[in-house]
Amino acid sequence: MPKPSSFRSRLYEIIFKADTPAGKAFDVILIGIIVFSVLVVMLDSVRQFHERFAPLFNALEWGFTILFTIEYVARLYCVQQPLKYAKSFFGVVDLLAILPTYLGILFPATHYLLVIRILRVLRVFRVLKLVQYLGEARSLLLALRASSRKITVFLVSVLSLVIILGSIMYVIEGEENGFTSIPRSIYWAIVTLTTVGYGDISPQTPLGQALSSIVMILGYSIIAVPTGIVTVEMSRTTNKKVLTRTCPVCSSEGHDADAIYCKYCGAKL
Amino acid sequence: MPKPSSFRSRLYEIIFKADTPAGKAFDVILIGIIVFSVLVVMLDSVRQFHERFAPLFNALEWGFTILFTIEYVARLYCVQQPLKYAKSFFGVVDLLAILPTYLGILFPATHYLLVIRILRVLRVFRVLKLVQYLGEARSLLLALRASSRKITVFLVSVLSLVIILGSIMYVIEGEENGFTSIPRSIYWAIVTLTTVGYGDISPQTPLGQALSSIVMILGYSIIAVPTGIVTVEMSRTTNKKVLTRTCPVCSSEGHDADAIYCKYCGAKL
Amino acid sequence: MPKPSSFRSRLYEIIFKADTPAGKAFDVILIGIIVFSVLVVMLDSVRQFHERFAPLFNALEWGFTILFTIEYVARLYCVQQPLKYAKSFFGVVDLLAILPTYLGILFPATHYLLVIRILRVLRVFRVLKLVQYLGEARSLLLALRASSRKITVFLVSVLSLVIILGSIMYVIEGEENGFTSIPRSIYWAIVTLTTVGYGDISPQTPLGQALSSIVMILGYSIIAVPTGIVTVEMSRTTNKKVLTRTCPVCSSEGHDADAIYCKYCGAKL
Amino acid sequence: MPKPSSFRSRLYEIIFKADTPAGKAFDVILIGIIVFSVLVVMLDSVRQFHERFAPLFNALEWGFTILFTIEYVARLYCVQQPLKYAKSFFGVVDLLAILPTYLGILFPATHYLLVIRILRVLRVFRVLKLVQYLGEARSLLLALRASSRKITVFLVSVLSLVIILGSIMYVIEGEENGFTSIPRSIYWAIVTLTTVGYGDISPQTPLGQALSSIVMILGYSIIAVPTGIVTVEMSRTTNKKVLTRTCPVCSSEGHDADAIYCKYCGAKL
């Protein structure tokens, strides 16, 4: 927290906290501007709108950029460690939200700046982070982190499976049926195993259809594995009622509600 | 409940309750008429049937409207607070079920009235609400409501993901491959992430196919998150129901919701 | 069980039981013949094979029919109550497995007899029923039966949803985009909500694509509901270790492993 | 483990163990070479790359083959029972990783050798097996094995279902709508039930669309069954792991698998 120097600490409270009326209002207005600015980027990409409203969109874009720049500077000003904030995930996202417009002056506007602009949508999470969803988001993340190893094993298995299945289909179906290379056949295997099924490449030979039937049933069945992993982990996290407690010694998180000592370093919580 | 004035309270019991034979019969007949009237609206929209049976459909539609009008008036008559009923969810649905036909006299029949007519299907829930499914529906709703915050976090994450992924694909694939604008690319990202996969827009460049492979595997894996959330919540809701029963004789716990006798001592619960 | 009259009871043991070597051999041979006969029906429907091997397929078909007829008669002979067997589910399936071929003499062979022939595949379950999979199949069925009410509520909700969504899309997209009638639009809504996504009908207008995006995310999320229902029910069934115990008084099933008295009628188990 | 004869046992430790720095480095290098060699096989199948880089790919392929041959011989040399290793799953995979290139000298290079080469991807699991993912992979496998019977019952049911549904659709839709034979209709039924939905074959008649709607909702619902099975099994496996730890000082139970100190008294576990 910053030193209690009147203005700066007041600003800090408005921008970074959500429990005062001013802080809440700031969050609601900010989230509105973010959503509106993302909408403008999206609509600007539609040819008909771009042709008719290009000057308006440009003006709005500059308006958002100036607003976000003021906000970015204010954030830098009121935090204790500006560098640490600037290097943090949300600090980088905040910078990326304003950079493309300024870069657009130097370089001719390219498509690539568009994507960076759209990253503004991530700023919504900064606001979400501050309010009552914090606990829910954390318990979701904890469950996913706790199951990350099992999910890695699962993903490596799925990747090996689609590489092998894709190669077999490349040999069975061949170039004349759209399986022009192994990477493309692997793309098909992923489309099929994940039950997406575009239909842009589909097996034509009876043998290929038989094999892809097996792939489908496999994909249909093994979706149970990530589901099972996450469900079990979530049920454990939820039942344990993990509090937002952090070990004062080793900074580890995820301690049980009834824990008295840190399970990693033995320090008193 | 209304005052015990003979006819009105008798009507109330028939229409709003389901435990008397008359009330049950009323529900069964009503559900039959609702389903039949929805079927007529559906068939009327098929060109061949409309051309051949238009007068019949029209007559049936008026028949249903008159029946539902009588029912609506009867409901208004026998409840204690007619205004409160009229403003309730089912009161509005009941009104919407009869309004389109009357409006059709004043205005030329448009497509839009059709959709309002089809809302009649919601009236089925009014009947379901009254019978034995009440408990099941309630426990489903409780589980969903309890997990609504986690689901909100999940939906905001998914929306941010498809916005970012859609924008990246818009830049990678470009207009020549069907990704004509960011909103359309976001539509594609949703089609892919949810594993629907129409195939009306599908990536053509190798890089686009590689990215969409990642989107698919992502969509395939993160479906585990809502599933996990709802499963854990349901398991909690269900377990709670089991625990609230204790045998009056042997004080044993953990009896099923449908148990009539204690499974340990045979005493009546 | 039949009276211990030498041959008949021996036959009964071979055909209906699986714990003797003869009974096991009979099951394995029967399952082989069933699978082979289903394969023949399937291959016979392929034009190229039919043109070349029609006489062979016909001969095989008669062979299977005669074998299954002998088996059917043997089953009728060795059970205590032949009529009860003939009326049971598997009794009807056994009869349907042989009837089409005989009917083919009287009537010219139609497509419809093919489907009846393919029902033979259900006979596999008769054999499965006898072996070690009994317990697993039963616990699956128990879990599904216990959750049948919740699933009904879920299915009615899904049906109402697709009817309403289909009608709205019919109005939004109209006949020119393939949504030619409400039933067809409902078909589209089911294809989309269940994340199948054929792509034979897909929204063309921006509004239609926006609505269908919502339908997809809805479909992607609510799949969690049946999954949650079945998982919770299964976990309860599995944890309780339901034995194959039946109440001697009221014939109710699904009693807990530690139950001493029937929970429905209070009788000693 | 081999006899402590200096070089051989040192080699064994490097190749087969992962807890020494040398062993870890060996694993990381090996996994890099495997991934790179699979990438080369994949890229070689793309026509443009093959035309430009065929000699380079050929040289790389020989390089990988010689490296893997040295590794294979080293493995054979340093294990105690070379024959047992050669017959094991990974022994066969190791051999298949080098065989195709040598066979390519004798026989003209065919497509089929490509698939065998791609099996190298399985070697990644050998390395994964050695490190910290072992426990996770094992608990996943245990859960799947424990539920294998239930999954068999489920798969047999799904197969019977698609055979019957496919045959009915063959009769309803007929050859003119793409359902040219029962096997092809079964392929369609699998595509639909698993919610893949290519759209290469899709029902055209109203009756066919009605039936396929039922198939879709069925497929959408019964995916809950394998999910439920695996989730329950996993939750049992995971819970078991948690329970096996007791604090030596305060005898408290229920410690996490990754806990080092007791969360109640701070004692070392």
pLDDT of residue D2: 45
Q: Are A125 and A58 in a shared domain?
A: yes
Residue A137 is assigned to a structural domain of this protein = no
Chain C residues close to B219, C-beta within 8 Å: 220
User: B64 to chain A, minimum CA–CA distance in Å?
Assistant: 42
| Interface contact flag, B194 C196, Cβ < 8 Å | no
Confirm or reject contact between D103 and chain A (CB < 8 A).
no
Chain C residues close to B119, C-beta within 8 Å: 164
Tokens for D139, please give them.
Answer: 């608990």
pLDDT of residue B243: 45
Q: Are A152 and A205 in a shared domain?
A: yes
The closest alpha carbon to A227, from C194, B215, D235, belongs to: D235
pLDDT of residue B191 exceeding 90: yes
Confirm or reject contact between A132 and chain B (CB < 8 A).
yes
Q: How confident is the model at residue A1 (pLDDT cuts 50, 70, 90)?
A: very low
Residue of D nearest to C129 (CA): D153
Confirm or reject contact between D6 and chain C (CB < 8 A).
no
pLDDT of residue C39: 92
Q: Are D113 and D36 in a shared domain?
A: yes
Q: Are C264 and C247 in contact (CB under 8 A)?
A: yes
Q: Are B160 and B231 in a shared domain?
A: yes
pLDDT of residue A2 exceeding 50: no
Residue B95 is assigned to a structural domain of this protein = yes
Residue C253 is assigned to a structural domain of this protein = no
Domain stop point among B100, B129, B158: B129
pLDDT of residue C84 exceeding 70: yes
Confirm or reject contact between C204 and chain A (CB < 8 A).
no
**For B226, which of C164, C221, C268 is closest by C-beta distance?**
C221
pLDDT of residue B238: 67
Q: What is the mean pLDDT of chain D?
A: 82
Confirm or reject contact between A198 and chain C (CB < 8 A).
yes
Q: How confident is the model at residue C74 (pLDDT cuts 50, 70, 90)?
A: very high
Residue A259 is assigned to a structural domain of this protein = no
Q: Are A80 and A8 in contact (CB under 8 A)?
A: no
pLDDT of residue C138 exceeding 90: no
Element (H, E) at D54: helix D47-78
Average pLDDT rounded to a whole number, residues A147-174: 87
Residue with more model confidence, C8 or C135: C8
Return the DSSP state at B20: S
**For C231, which of A195, A199, A231 is closest by C-beta distance?**
A231
Q: Out of A7-21, B2-16, B60-74, B127-141, give the one with best mean pLDDT.
A: B60-74
pLDDT of residue C10 exceeding 50: yes
Residue A232 is assigned to a structural domain of this protein = yes
CATH number assigned to the domain comprising residue D197 = 1.10.287.70
Confirm or reject contact between A51 and chain B (CB < 8 A).
no
| Interface contact flag, C199 A195, Cβ < 8 Å | no
Residue A251 is assigned to a structural domain of this protein = no
Q: What's the CA gap between B29 and B27, in Å, rounded?
A: 6
Q: Are C106 and C212 in a shared domain?
A: no
Q: What is the mean pLDDT of chain A?
A: 82
Chain B residues close to D227, C-beta within 8 Å: 227
Q: For D7-86, where are the E strands, in sequence order?
A: none
Return the DSSP state at A124: H
Return the DSSP state at B65: H
The neighbours of chain A, by the rule of 3 or more Cβ pairs under 8 Å, are B, C, D
pLDDT of residue B127: 72
Q: How confident is the model at residue D1 (pLDDT cuts 50, 70, 90)?
A: very low
Confirm or reject contact between C268 and chain D (CB < 8 A).
no
Please give the full DSSP string across C164-202, using - where no structure is assigned: HHHHHHHHHH-GGGT--SHHHHHHHHHHHHTT----SS-
The closest alpha carbon to A229, from C259, B102, B256, D230, belongs to: D230
Average pLDDT rounded to a whole number, residues C165-181: 90
Q: What's the CA gap between A240 and A256, in Å, rounded?
A: 6
Q: How confident is the model at residue C125 (pLDDT cuts 50, 70, 90)?
A: confident
pLDDT of residue A61 exceeding 50: yes
Confirm or reject contact between A123 and chain D (CB < 8 A).
no
Residue A225 is assigned to a structural domain of this protein = yes
User: B142 to chain A, minimum CA–CA distance in Å?
Assistant: 16
pLDDT of residue B102: 86
| Interface contact flag, A228 D223, Cβ < 8 Å | no
Residue D253 is assigned to a structural domain of this protein = no
Chain B residues close to A143, C-beta within 8 Å: 228
pLDDT of residue D243: 45
Residue of C nearest to A195 (CA): C196
Q: Out of B119-133, C174-188, D229-243, give the one with best mean pLDDT.
A: C174-188
pLDDT of residue B202 exceeding 70: yes
Q: pTM for the complete prediction? A: 0.84
pLDDT of residue C2: 45
The SS3 of residue C26 is: helix
Q: Are B28 and B89 in a shared domain?
A: yes
Q: Are B121 and B34 in contact (CB under 8 A)?
A: yes
Average pLDDT rounded to a whole number, residues A118-123: 86
Residue of C nearest to A192 (CA): C196
pLDDT of residue A14 exceeding 90: no
pLDDT of residue A133: 63
Average pLDDT rounded to a whole number, residues B174-186: 90
Q: Which position has the token pair 């019919």?
A: C170
Chain B residues close to A166, C-beta within 8 Å: none
| Interface contact flag, D199 B195, Cβ < 8 Å | no
Q: What's the CA gap between D251 and A250, in Å, rounded?
A: 25
Chain D residues close to A234, C-beta within 8 Å: none
Among residues of chain C, what percentage have pLDDT more than 70? 84
pLDDT of residue B1: 45
Residue of D nearest to C135 (CA): D150
Q: What is the mean pLDDT of chain B?
A: 82
Average pLDDT rounded to a whole number, residues D6-28: 83
pLDDT of residue B193 exceeding 60: yes
- How many domains is chain A partitioned into structurally? 2
pLDDT of residue D254 exceeding 90: no
pLDDT of residue C1: 45
pLDDT of residue D89 exceeding 90: no
Among residues of chain A, what percentage have pLDDT more than 70? 84
Q: Whole domain around residue D73: which residue ranges?
A: 7-129
| Interface contact flag, C268 B265, Cβ < 8 Å | no
**For B168, which of A38, A115, A233 is closest by C-beta distance?**
A115
pLDDT of residue B211: 92
Mutation to test the A interface, candidates C47, C227, C233, most A Cβ within 10 Å: C227
User: What confidence tens digit (pLDDT) does each residue in B34-82 have?
Assistant: 999 999 989 988 888 988 998 999 899 999 999 999 999 999 988 888 8
Q: What's the CA gap between B109 and B114, in Å, rounded?
A: 9
Q: What's the CA gap between D47 and D57, in Å, rounded?
A: 13
Q: Are C110 and C163 in a shared domain?
A: no
Residue of A nearest to D49 (CA): A181
pLDDT of residue D246: 65
Residue of B nearest to A155 (CA): B217
Least confidently predicted of C111-115, D28-32, D241-245: D241-245
The closest alpha carbon to C191, from C177, C175, C212, belongs to: C212
Q: How confident is the model at residue C250 (pLDDT cuts 50, 70, 90)?
A: low
Q: Are D46 and D98 in a shared domain?
A: yes
pLDDT of residue C219 exceeding 70: yes
Residue with more model confidence, C143 or A22: A22
Q: Are D166 and D78 in a shared domain?
A: no
Average pLDDT rounded to a whole number, residues D88-104: 86
Q: How confident is the model at residue D267 (pLDDT cuts 50, 70, 90)?
A: confident
Confirm or reject contact between C111 and chain D (CB < 8 A).
yes
Confirm or reject contact between D47 and chain A (CB < 8 A).
yes
pLDDT of residue C66 exceeding 90: yes
The closest alpha carbon to B168, from A118, C184, D172, belongs to: A118
pLDDT of residue B265 exceeding 80: no
Mutation to test the B interface, candidates A31, A35, A45, A89, most B Cβ within 10 Å: A45
Chain C residues close to D169, C-beta within 8 Å: none
Mention every residue, 6+ apart, whose C-beta is less than 8 A from residue B5. none
pLDDT of residue A254 exceeding 80: no
Angle at D184 between CA D178 and CA D185, to 5 degrees: 75
Q: Are D208 and D153 in a shared domain?
A: yes
pLDDT of residue A162: 93
pLDDT of residue D145: 81
**For B227, which of D196, D199, D227 is closest by C-beta distance?**
D227
Q: Are B124 and B184 in a shared domain?
A: no
| Interface contact flag, C140 D163, Cβ < 8 Å | no
Average pLDDT rounded to a whole number, residues B112-117: 78
Tokens for C147, please give them.
Answer: 């959750």
- Which of A:210-249 have CB within 8 Å of B? 219, 223, 226-227, 229-231, 233-235, 238
Confirm or reject contact between B135 and chain A (CB < 8 A).
no
CATH number assigned to the domain comprising residue C28 = 1.20.120.350
Average pLDDT rounded to a whole number, residues B11-23: 81
Q: How confident is the model at residue C12 (pLDDT cuts 50, 70, 90)?
A: confident
Confirm or reject contact between D182 and chain C (CB < 8 A).
yes
Confirm or reject contact between B78 and chain C (CB < 8 A).
no
For residues C176-213, b (16+ Cβ closer than 10 Å) or e, as one string? Answer: eeebbbbbbbbbbbbbbbbbbbbbbbbbeeeebbebbb
Q: Are A156 and A88 in a shared domain?
A: no
User: What confidence tens digit (pLDDT) does each residue in D164-217 have?
Assistant: 999 999 989 988 888 988 999 999 999 999 999 888 888 999 999 999 999 999
pLDDT of residue D73 exceeding 90: yes
Residue of B nearest to A229 (CA): B224
* Number of Cβ atoms within 10 Å of the Cβ of A182: 25
